[in-house]
Amino acid sequence: MLDIAPARISRAGSPQKITDPFFYSVALSRQADGKIFVELTATTVDEEGPSLLNQDIASDRVATIDEALALIRAHVHIA
């Protein structure tokens, strides 16, 4: 997992609401035909309750690890 936006603590000492993804997950799987399946998901904090929400961002089959990295770069932006 790639930790992008860890929980932030406000100056008052209480956690702030996080609307940005809390973290991204990248799954890679080698397919029988030699291609690589890439799946990206983001986990966010539910603003209405104490739970985490998973959201699919992208998934694709690519031929090379360079194409997999390009897919990740296209969808994951680190600020």
pLDDT for res 45? 84
pLDDT for res 47? 80
Among the listed residues 54, 65, 51, the one whose alpha carbon sits nearest the alpha carbon of residue 23: 54
- Domain of residue 38, residue span: 1-79
**Each residue's pLDDT tens digit, 12-49:** 444 444 356 678 899 999 999 999 999 999 888 888 87
| CA separation for the pair 10, 30 (Å, rounded) | 43
> Per the structure, how many domains does the chain have?
1
Give percent above pLDDT 70 in the chain: 72
Is residue 33 within 8 Å of 63, Cβ to Cβ? no
- pLDDT beyond 70 at 56: yes
Q: Output the pTM of the full model.
A: 0.66
Helices (H), the chain: 65-75
